[in-house]
Structure 1
Amino acid sequence: MKIAVFPGSFDPITIGHEDIINRGTELFDKVIVAIGVNSSKKYMHSLDERLEMLRKTFKDNNKVEVDTYKGLTVEYCKDKKANFLLRGLRTTGDFEFEQSIATMNAKLVPDVETIFLMSNPQHSAVSSTIVRDIIRNNGNASQFLPQNIR
C-alpha cells in the first residue's frame, strides 16, 4: 500500500492545500493529512477547529485520513508506515526551502521519499498566512477556502 503524509499547520486549510491533497489521492492509496502540533507557535484556530475543518473538507474522500502529531515529521511517517512525504510547491522559494528539508529528512529516514507537486497556477498566490491576514482585517476570504468550510 502506498501511503503519503501531507503535513502542515492548516491554519486554515486553503484551496491550495485541498488541491494538492486531492491530486495526491490519485497517486497514493492513502494520504494522511497530519497537523503538526507545535506548542510554541500561536495559531488563529485551535487544534480542534483545524481538525474539524480538515474532516469537513475531506468527509467524502475515503482515501484521506486526518491526524495530528508531535515531533519530527519523518518519524511520524515511519510510525504510520508511510513511505512518502507529500509537499506542494508554489514558488521557487518554496522549492529551495522544501528541498533542504527533504535532503535532511532523507538522511534521517532514508525509506521516506519526498514527492513535490506543483501548485495549480490559479492557487499559487494562496497561502494560509494571506488568508489569516484577510480574516484579521475583516475581509472575505471564502474564495480561498474549501467549499465545505466556507
Structure 2
Amino acid sequence: MRRGIYPGSFDPLTLGHLDIIKRAVDLVDELVIAVLNNSSKIPMFTVEERIAMIRDVTKDIECIRVEPFNGLLVDFASQIDAKLIIRGLRGVNDFEYEMQMAQTNRNMYPELDTIFLVTNINYSYISSTLVKEIIKHDGAFQNLVPEEIVKYIK
C-alpha cells in the first residue's frame, strides 16, 4: 500500500489545502492528513477542532485518514510506514523552505520522498495566517475556506 502524508497545522483548513488534498489522493492508496500540534505557535483552533474540521470537509473522500502528530515528521512517517510526503507550494519562497525540509527528512529517513504540488493559481495567495488575520478583524473570509469550515469559525 502506498501511504502518503500531507502534514500541516491547518489552522484553519483553506481552499488551497483542499486543492492539494483532492489532487494528492490520486497519487496514493491512503492519504494521512497529519495535523501538527506545534507548541511554538498559538493556534486559533485546538488540534481536536482542526481534525474535526478536516474530517468534515473530507468525509466523502474514502482513502483519507486524519491524525494528530507531535515532534518530527520523519518519526511519524516511520511509525505509520509512510514513504511519501506531499507538500503544496504557493510560490518561490515556499519552495526554498520546503526543499530544505525535504532534504533534511530524506537524510534522516532515506526511504522517505517528498512530492511538491503547485497550488491552483486561484488559491495561491491564500494561507491560514492570512485567513486568521482576516477573521481577527471581522473581514470576509468565506471565499477562502471550504464551506464546511465557515460554521466552525462562526
**TM-score scaled by length of structure 2:** 0.94
- Counterparts of 1:37 and 1:11 in 2: how far apart (Å)? 10
The corresponding residue for 1:3 is 3
- Counterparts of 2:126 and 2:41 in 1: how far apart (Å)? 21
Aligned residues: 150
Q: Helix, strand or coil: the match of 1:27?
A: coil
Q: Helix, strand or coil: the match of 1:143?
A: coil
Q: Cα offset for 1:41? A: 1.8
The corresponding residue for 2:110 is 110
The corresponding residue for 1:94 is 94
- More deviation in 46-55 or 111-120? 46-55
Q: Does 1:57 align with 2:77?
A: no
Q: Cα offset for 1:110? A: 0.6
- Counterparts of 1:12 and 1:131 in 2: how far apart (Å)? 8
Q: Cα offset for 1:40? A: 3.0
Identity of aligned residues (%): 39
Give ranges in structure 1 of 5+ residues lacking alignment.
none
The corresponding residue for 2:144 is 144
**TM-score scaled by length of structure 1:** 0.97
CA RMSD across the alignment: 0.8
- Runs of 4+ in structure 1 displaced over 3 angstroms? none
Alignment of 1:11-90 (within 5 A): 11-90=11-90
Q: Please tell me the residue identity of whatever aligns with 2:34.
A: A
Q: Cα offset for 1:39? A: 2.3
- More deviation in 40-49 or 101-110? 40-49
